[in-house]
Chains A and B, each alone.
Chain A
Amino acid sequence: MTITATEDTAERLARLQQHIEDLLREAKDRGASAAEASVGSSAGLEVSVRLGEVETVEHTRDNGLGITVYFGHHKGSASTTDLSPASLRDTVAAACTIAAQTQEDPCAHLADAALMARTIPDLDLYHPWPLGVDEAIRIAADCEDAARAYDARIVNSEGASLSTHMGLQVYGNSHGFIGGYPSTRHGLSCAVVGEDGDAMQRDYWWTSARCAADLDPARGVGERAAERTVARLGARQIDTRKAPVLFRAEVAAGLLRSLVSAISGGSLYRRSSFLLDHLNETIFPDFVRIHEQPLLPRGLASAPFDGDGVATWSKDLVSEGVLRTYLLDAYSGCRLKLPTTGNAGGVRNLSIDMGELDRAGMLALMGTGLFVTELMGHGVNAVTGDYSRGAAGFWVEHGEIQFPVEEITIAGNLKEMFAGLVAVGNDCDFPGSTRTGSWLIGEMTIAGE
């Protein structure tokens, strides 16, 4: 069996658009003053191989629709996985029933009609992979083989998985806006277990892309998973101390996600952000520029319009260390008395300007300190910025890795960590929509023995 569209993509898009039109008409017929709806349909294949044998073959096929109706400034929402005509009518009715109980909220309305995307640029997001199950299994097996062959200390495996998905998403609202587009996403990941004496360690690696040709080679993904696993063997605790901390690029991306959360409209109007009232204030050193590119061709988070139908655009979130914009949708913008920034549904393809130094240069710049390669748990307080998380990584002296470290925590406050950012490396070496190198933070508290 292969994953190919059974009907033309354009026809399927047209059918989903028809659903949207039916939903909006039904809402109007029931007396709604405005409405918005989205419909999605996706299909995919996921295979996993463990210890050289097939473990799972999953065929995925998901449908869903959601509608929000407005009666003046009262709103109600409903959703379903059933796209039959009867279900569409029932879902609209359910949303109207909800709206009868909600209260007047002056900000409960669609985004301004003038902001709707006028054109839907082709962002090159659709590259179906006509992949057979046997071929998928072979790629995953190659990936895992490379990991297991990498080092004699790789003694076990959680396996390798290959996935390919194609989806169609359509959004429309009663301004007359309707837009939809197809997209694909393919990925390969591998996790293996190493052993040294009594202790086991696990690590993983992955690749992800809109187009199969852009995926990293399977064997390379496996070798990287094994390399990371072996490097952790022999890890130990260190004493409690204060020290500089270098966040490896992929964990530094988590710090950017904390920034995004803190400057998102929902956190701000709920007063649940440590960056409340920081618009146009300096929050980073002056070399920092953080940029969003929603229209990036083949970008993993690209979208021509946001969840309100508003056209998206590129912008600096931070430049010269100053917070230039919040991330707002129509609702949170209204609550904060600011215009939407086209960020309904989140931020899309974030990047920080990278510095001159590679990994070795960043380690040398830190000198003696902790190189964090993994973080655990949810110890980030969004309201205060207080930060305390489980960590694993390497102890570094004079710019050289000494030994792997585990069962420690690192703690500080995000506001101080952002202000105390010393440098950003050019060692961006992980897949995904967020692009950053490693981050060197001046000082944090490390708790251990």
Chain B
Amino acid sequence: MNDPITIARDSILAPAGLTEHDLDRLLGLLAGSALDAADIYFQNSRLQSWVLEDGIIKDGNFSIEQGVGIRAISGEKTGFAYSDEITFPALAQAAEAARAIAGAGQHAQVRIANQAAVHRLYEPINPLVSLPDADQVALLKRVDAEARRMDSRVTKVSASVVAVQDIVMVLADDGTLAADVRPLVRLNVSVIAEANGRREQGGSGGGARADLGWLLLEDRALGFAREAVRLALTNLEAEPAPAGTMTVVLGAGWPGILLHEAIGHGLEGDFNRKETSAFAGRVGERVAAPGVTVVDDGTLAGRRGSLNMDDEGTPSQNTVLIEDGILRGYMQDKLNARLMGVRSTGNGRRESYAHLPMPRMTNTYMLAGTRDPQEIIASVDKGLYAVNFGGGQVDITSGKFVFSTSEAYLIEGGKIGRPVKGATLIGNGPDVLTRVSMIGNDLALDAGVGTCGKEGQSVPVGVGQPTMRIDSLTVGGTTA
């Protein structure tokens, strides 16, 4: 019972009384001569969470989402229907609705074959039961106590722990039968600190495709508590941020959200097939300074953005997006790859069975350079050093992107100076990386809390980068 296909059969098909023969029949009903592609996506997703506020375990939640999404594709047309009732008649009805997109056509015979898993980046476990409930609750209480112990200016602490098991199984008319069992855990801490009439927030957290024991290793959970307190206390001292265009040094790790917004979305296959991206038709052109190499890598063991296979059954891969400053390629799902005459890069992802797949990022990061991070800061006479961020957003057509700091400092005379309040940074995706003048040797990935939204669908992702210097970027503070 340690094989994803067996687990998927036992937890989705068997309780519904569906047999292998039913799947063959269903795919036969769906596939046909008028279609280019068709697939069926089974999902069973379980989530358990605990919430601590004001020193007590205040709430907990358990949820199950289960259903089947059925898709039929003809040319650029997609027909889609889904059902949360997993019975043969309900699925047959959904298949008929989806395939109507192609008009009448002959039904086809499809033989599905088990697809051997390419990756084993995480174990097919159920993290909900990986730690007794009482221990999860106790962990949150220790996190709360640690945050309060750190500093008397801490007036509020909230913390949550979430464990998810996502079992997915894909059948496609190209014969694909593949499954993945995806664990995902996360712990978040948020604190409010108050002093001298000021009130500020600090937050931290981390997660992985692992069991809940991951949170206990390397002192992680308490480390998140200490980091949240440190951020809130830093913000208590923050002064107004500067406004205008200046040199910006971005710290290693989570500031890689820059890459996700500035270039990642613009290199998703759908926007480039439709030529609505500012990067459309630019493969082979210079879009970044020499030395800048950016990849989207779904194959990192245990990372939040990693996948053994994407939601179309394609094994995930490490795709080079920018190599030494030159644009190399796009991230693809099956539909856009077929229409552009290339292969899927294993980036076809969907929020759930009730959503259509599209090209999405996994873990997007810049490879390390050679500079000492201290040397990079020392090189700046006057500028901003930004090490933590909230969210970001991009307009893929104009190329303009933003991301907002939650921890940043002035750099004065090559030294890190006073902390400044949160400010939004804005730039132009296709040229921001041409202004990268120094790349650190300290590549780091984020702690595992990123969620990406696109067309109303959320998926877990990762980002990362080394410390880097951008010679000019617009900083949206209040001090003009």
Residue on A nearest B101 in the bound complex, by CB: A57
Count of chain B residues with Cβ under 8 Å from any Cβ of A? 77
Contact of A101 among B134, B194, B393, B422 (CB under 8 A): B134
Contact of A389 among B243, B401, B424 (CB under 8 A): B424
B351 interfacial by beta-carbon distance below 8 Å:
no
Please, which residues of chain B bring their CB within 8 A of the CB of A98? 48, 60-62, 133
Q: Are A376 and B77 in contact (CB-based, < 8 A)?
A: no
Please, which residues of chain B bring their CB within 8 A of the CB of A54? 77, 101
Interface residues of A in 359-409 (CB under 8 A from B): 376-379, 381-384, 386, 388-390, 392, 406-409
Q: Are B390 and A378 in contact (CB-based, < 8 A)?
A: yes
Q: Are B101 and A75 in contact (CB-based, < 8 A)?
A: no
A346 interfacial by beta-carbon distance below 8 Å:
no
**CA separation between A410 and B392, bound complex, in Å?**
16
Please, which residues of chain A bring their CB within 8 A of the CB of B80? 56-59
Contact of A193 among B158, B397, B423, B478 (CB under 8 A): B397
**CA separation between A372 and B56, bound complex, in Å?**
44
A158 interfacial by beta-carbon distance below 8 Å:
yes
**CA separation between A77 and B61, bound complex, in Å?**
5
B64 interfacial by beta-carbon distance below 8 Å:
yes
**CA separation between A59 and B101, bound complex, in Å?**
11
Report, as a range, how many residues of chain A touch the other chain: 35 or more
Q: Are A449 and B245 in contact (CB-based, < 8 A)?
A: yes
Contact of B480 among A50, A156, A445 (CB under 8 A): A445
A123 interfacial by beta-carbon distance below 8 Å:
no
Please, which residues of chain B bring their CB within 8 A of the CB of A413? 478
Q: Mark B108-150, 1 if CB is under 8 A from A, else 0.
A: 0000000000000000000000000110010000000000000
Contact of B200 among A56, A59, A384 (CB under 8 A): A384
Q: Are B278 and A200 in contact (CB-based, < 8 A)?
A: yes
Closest Cβ of chain B to A47, distance in Å, is 10
Q: Mark A44-64, 1 if CB is under 8 A from B, else 0.
A: 000000100111111111110
Q: Are A101 and B274 in contact (CB-based, < 8 A)?
A: no
B305 interfacial by beta-carbon distance below 8 Å:
no
A104 interfacial by beta-carbon distance below 8 Å:
yes
Please, which residues of chain B bring their CB within 8 A of the CB of A357? none
Please, which residues of chain A bring their CB within 8 A of the CB of B478? 388, 411-413, 445
A108 interfacial by beta-carbon distance below 8 Å:
yes
Please, which residues of chain A bring their CB within 8 A of the CB of B403? 377
Closest Cβ of chain B to A442, distance in Å, is 14
**CA separation between A105 and B62, bound complex, in Å?**
19
Known pairs A59-B97, A82-B84; A377 contacts B62 (CB<8 A): no
B276 interfacial by beta-carbon distance below 8 Å:
yes
Q: Mark B220-251, 1 if CB is under 8 A from A, else 0.
A: 00000000000000000000010111000000
B219 interfacial by beta-carbon distance below 8 Å:
no
A242 interfacial by beta-carbon distance below 8 Å:
yes
Known pairs A79-B63, A377-B424; A62 contacts B84 (CB<8 A): yes
Residue on A nearest B158 in the bound complex, by CB: A270
Interface residues of A in 75-108 (CB under 8 A from B): 75-82, 87, 91, 94-95, 97-105, 108
A419 interfacial by beta-carbon distance below 8 Å:
no
Known pairs A376-B400, A392-B400, A407-B400; A55 contacts B391 (CB<8 A): no
B164 interfacial by beta-carbon distance below 8 Å:
no
Q: Mark B64-87, 1 if CB is under 8 A from A, else 0.
A: 111100000000111111111000
Q: Are A200 and B398 in contact (CB-based, < 8 A)?
A: yes
Residue on A nearest B472 in the bound complex, by CB: A449
Please, which residues of chain B bring their CB within 8 A of the CB of A241? 480
Closest Cβ of chain B to A385, distance in Å, is 11
Known pairs A54-B101, A58-B81, A390-B424; A81 contacts B64 (CB<8 A): yes
B378 interfacial by beta-carbon distance below 8 Å:
no
**CA separation between A378 and B391, bound complex, in Å?**
6
Known pairs A407-B426, A411-B423; A272 contacts B192 (CB<8 A): yes
Please, which residues of chain A bring their CB within 8 A of the CB of B409? none
Residue on B nearest A409 in the bound complex, by CB: B476
Q: Are A104 and B56 in contact (CB-based, < 8 A)?
A: yes
Please, which residues of chain B bring their CB within 8 A of the CB of A193? 276, 397
Known pairs A1-B97, A156-B274; A406 contacts B77 (CB<8 A): no
Please, which residues of chain A bring their CB within 8 A of the CB of B480? 240-242, 445-447
Contact of A133 among B64, B100, B424, B428 (CB under 8 A): B100
Please, which residues of chain B bring their CB within 8 A of the CB of A386? 421-422
B28 interfacial by beta-carbon distance below 8 Å:
no
**15 interchain pairs, CB-CB under 8 A:** A1-B100, A55-B77, A56-B80, A56-B356, A57-B77, A59-B80, A60-B82, A63-B84, A75-B59, A81-B64, A200-B397, A376-B400, A383-B192, A384-B421, A390-B424
Supplied contacts A55-B76, A445-B476, 12 more A-B pairs, CB within 8 Å: A57-B80, A77-B60, A79-B63, A101-B137, A200-B278, A202-B395, A272-B201, A388-B422, A407-B428, A408-B426, A447-B245, A449-B244
